[in-house]
Amino acid sequence: MHAERPNAPLRHLTGSRDVYLTFDDGPDEEWTARVLDVLGANSARATFFVIGRAARESTALVRRIVAAGHEIGNHGYSHRHPWTMSSRDAQAEVRNGTDAIAQTAGIAPRLFRPAFGRLRRAMTEEAAQSGQRVVLWSRSAIDWGPFARPERVEARIRSADAGDIVLMHDGRNESNHPAVTADVLPTVLRQFTERKLSMALLPAM
Go through the domains of the chain in sequence order and give each one's CATH number.
18-199 (3.20.20.370)
Residue 143 backbone phi and psi in degrees, to 5? -95, 50
Residue 10 reports pLDDT greater than 70 = yes
> Does 24 participate in catalysis according to the annotation?
yes
Q: Looking at 70, 75, 79, 169, which residue is catalytic?
A: 169
Instruction: Using pLDDT thresholds of 50, 70 and 90, give the confidence band for residue 7.
Output: low
Residues 63 and 50 sit within 8 Å (Cβ to Cβ):
no
Q: What confidence score (pLDDT) does residue 5 get?
A: 46
Q: Measuring CA to CA, which residue among 10, 5, 2, 4 is closest to residue 165?
A: 10
Backbone angles phi, psi at 15, to 5 degrees: 90, -10
Whether 91 has a pLDDT exceeding 70, the answer reads yes
* β partners of residue 49: 24, 73
Catalytic residue among 18, 24, 28, 170: 24
User: What rounded mean pLDDT belongs to the chain?
Assistant: 95
Q: Give the Cα-Cα-Cα angle 155, 187, 21 (nearest 5 degrees).
A: 70
> What is the pTM assigned to this prediction?
0.95
> Is 169 a known active-site residue?
yes
